[in-house]
Structure 1
Amino acid sequence: MKSKVTLQSPMNIGNVQLKNRLILAPMQQNKGTLQAMPTDYHVKHYRDRAKHVGLVIIESTGVSANGRLYPNDIGIFTDEHTGPLRRIVEAVHEEHTPIFIQLTHGGRKAWPEVVDRLVAPSAIAYDDFYGVPEEMTSKDIREAISEFRFAARRSVQAGFDGIELHLAHGHLLHQFLSPLSNLRSDEYGGSLENRLRIIREVVIAIREEVGCAYPLQIRVSASDFAEGGLTPVDVAHALTYLEEFIDAVHVSAGGTLPVAPLADGAGYQVPYASVIKQYVKVPVIAVGRIHSGQLANFILADELADFIAVGRPMQEDPHFAQKLLQYEE
């Protein structure tokens, strides 16, 4: 007998209760200032979409000036970023909705024009546009861990209800995890445990800043879409080393290489989420063209995932969440 869970069912991520299972997925707005500051645009954008969803996750927010993804993204790498970000939090809270921040370092996919150094686990280019990065030294790795730590501290100061750590889409932490982008021979490369080492150290550093009760989830890419790259089972095994520190997993795919998925139809990433769900006990968030109430409720009822994240339709229509939630069997 199928579960009676629907999009309307409440559920917790950590100690934060979500009024329903629908999440606003993080999507780049490309409206930040040259200094990576959010603006009035961001305050209005997130407030307009907050009312009906169970959780807002804001766009990728850079933890380092050398990790910015775009010239007009937003960041949290100085204390000055905290105030503008707090305005977004307060606007979303006015709609009685919790809000998480997504913390990111671009690594070899940081925008070349706005970073001083392009760094990565290994000196392997993503493509010709980004160019060949410098292989990170032990000092560079320690600095990156500290940048995530300080970003977590500022996230709490800004009033965010939780953190999503970006371990997906070919950014720095994903670069360490994937054997396609990590060819190191030291303690940060080689075996799965070694490739996970910086991620565990980042997660532990964040926990030291925010405590055990503060919600922390991870966004993963469950497949590299390439031979020799990460598979859903690989990522699931990696998560078993991290699960004691995290409250949820947000399952996406791709980004290590400039290749497209083999399929991209409705719910195309749900099978990845369903694999991850077999290995972890924390809630799993599915994403990827889940644009109908019928499909969303099927995924939840069949226990393929615990939450549904939606990006592009909500980006284009601030009322899309209300329409999705109104679906009835």
Structure 2
Amino acid sequence: MSYVLKPLQAGSLVLANRLVMPPMATAKAEADGSVSQAVLDYYAEKTEGGYLPLVIIEHSFIHLAGKAGERQLSIADDKAIPGYKKLADAIHRNGAKGIVQINHAGSAADQEVTGKAPVGPSAIANPRKGTIIPHELTAQEIRELAADFQHAARRVKEAGFDGVEIHSAHGYLLNQFFSPLTNQRKDEYGGTVLKRIRIHLEVIAAVREVVGKDYPILLRLGASDFTAGGSTIEDSIAAVQEFEKAGVDILDISGGFCGYTIPDGSNEQGYFSPLTAAIKKVVSIPVILTGGITQAQAAEELLAEGKADLIGVGRAVLKDSNWAQQAVNSLL
């Protein structure tokens, strides 16, 4: 049987095949971040037919100070819940499961959009954003951020989604703590990799407390910056073992400050597979691989080789809403 077409169960999440639509920002929300008709239509179209059994909704900001850009979805207050309920219903009607990715952009927040000074683990400019020096978060402010993630996760569950994903990739706030490029703290949140992920473990614990023991928690990790002095796969190997112990159900692997590509410009399908393969060796929970995968056969081979458990297909699905149907049919 096809590897792509094998069902998968991760905790309470049961998936009909191994294809995932990863989070991709659409900038289709209303100006205040609420779910628009355009957002509903987009996700209804992408999940039609149920060929993509798992859809991870683009990053939603948990606090206005952590908003990354115009028309980004907001999960920052309870007013958002009715719109997300409609979105969960639209996805479920098509037989798919929906996960909401929750995020704080930290020093990558757009000050012109938020009207607030950006924050970060250290007073160091974000390598992807230019020269603005963020406010260095105090330990008390870090605890408040964990509460913001917790409240956001509660809203996701109340809206009827099937799980929540904590975003620590692409140079956003949690990824800024993970990376030595932007985390040069001298307290309990900086230094060794285990100290740099202290905030992650606090966020995971806060989220788990509010969603309960059986609700799926995913974590998207920028597993390497691919930059001198940045985070490395060795850091990630240490980190993911702690995340699994803390109760993360699925790891979703991408890049750090390099974003969702790698610096050598490789267009090989599954170009993050060296990261996922190394991570799979040290955890027992499922691992999602994304990165340039456009062909069903490439997905099949990556799974057959044990590089990952689930395959995220982003740009191909963005360009062609029928991609998953054609992929599934080609493997039958």
TM-score by length of 2: 0.94
Quick one: structure 1 residues 241 and 143, their matched pair in 2 at CA, closer, same or farther if it must change by over 3 Å? same
Q: Does 1:124 align with 2:121?
A: no
Q: Tell whether the 8 Å contact from 2:255 to 2:261 is kept in structure 1 after alignment.
A: no
Q: How does 1:57-206 map to 2 (within 5 A)?
A: 57-115=56-114, 116-127=116-127, 129=130, 131-206=132-207
Q: Tell whether the 8 Å contact from 2:107 to 2:120 is kept in structure 1 after alignment.
A: yes
- Cα shift at 1:262: 1.7
Between 256-265 and 113-122, the greater mean CA deviation after superposition: 256-265
Rounded Cα–Cα distance in structure 2 between residues aligned with 1:6 and 1:257: 28
- Cα shift at 1:117: 2.4
Q: Tell whether the 8 Å contact from 2:19 to 2:52 is kept in structure 1 after alignment.
A: yes
1:325 pairs with one of 304, 324, 328: 328
Amino acid at match of 1:182: N
Rounded Cα–Cα distance in structure 2 between residues aligned with 1:5 and 1:258: 27
Q: Tell whether the 8 Å contact from 1:126 to 1:256 is kept in structure 2 after alignment.
A: no
User: 1:30 maps to which residue?
Assistant: 27
- Cα shift at 1:260: 5.2
- Cα shift at 1:77: 0.4
- Cα shift at 1:39: 0.3
- Cα shift at 1:257: 8.2
User: 1:287 maps to which residue?
Assistant: 290
2:264 pairs with one of 262, 265, 284: 262
- Cα shift at 1:189: 0.7
Q: Does 1:298 align with 2:297?
A: no
Rounded Cα–Cα distance in structure 1 between residues aligned with 2:315 and 2:224: 21
Q: Tell whether the 8 Å contact from 1:109 to 1:130 is kept in structure 2 after alignment.
A: no
Deviations 1:77-102 (A, max 9, x none): 01111111111100000011110000
Quick one: structure 1 residues 258 and 321, their matched pair in 2 at CA, closer, same or farther if it must change by over 3 Å? closer
1:48 pairs with one of 41, 45, 48: 45
C-alpha RMSD over aligned residues: 1.7
Q: Tell whether the 8 Å contact from 2:8 to 2:15 is kept in structure 1 after alignment.
A: yes
Q: Tell whether the 8 Å contact from 1:233 to 1:276 is kept in structure 2 after alignment.
A: no
Unaligned runs of 5+ in 1: none
SS class of match (1:241):
helix
User: 2:319 maps to which residue?
Assistant: 316
Amino acid at match of 1:119: V
Rounded Cα–Cα distance in structure 2 between residues aligned with 1:130 and 1:60: 24
Amino acid at match of 2:303: L
Rounded Cα–Cα distance in structure 2 between residues aligned with 1:110 and 1:292: 34
Quick one: structure 1 residues 278 and 212, their matched pair in 2 at CA, closer, same or farther if it must change by over 3 Å? same
SS class of match (1:44):
helix
Deviations 1:90-118 (A, max 9, x none): 00000111100001110000111122120
- Cα shift at 1:210: 0.5
Rounded Cα–Cα distance in structure 1 between residues aligned with 2:166 and 2:230: 21
- Cα shift at 1:256: 6.0
In percent, how many aligned pairs have the same letter?
36
Structure 1: 4+ residue segments shifted above 4 A: 127-130, 256-260
Quick one: structure 1 residues 192 and 321, their matched pair in 2 at CA, closer, same or farther if it must change by over 3 Å? same
Amino acid at match of 1:113: E
Deviations 1:132-176 (A, max 9, x none): 111011222121111001001101111110011111111100100
Quick one: structure 1 residues 275 and 230, their matched pair in 2 at CA, closer, same or farther if it must change by over 3 Å? same
Amino acid at match of 1:231: T
Q: Tell whether the 8 Å contact from 1:233 to 1:275 is kept in structure 2 after alignment.
A: no
- Cα shift at 1:5: 4.9
Q: Tell whether the 8 Å contact from 2:22 to 2:57 is kept in structure 1 after alignment.
A: yes
Between 109-118 and 57-66, the greater mean CA deviation after superposition: 109-118
Question: Aligned pairs, how many?
Answer: 326
Amino acid at match of 2:108: K
Between 128-137 and 318-327, the greater mean CA deviation after superposition: 128-137
Amino acid at match of 1:274: A
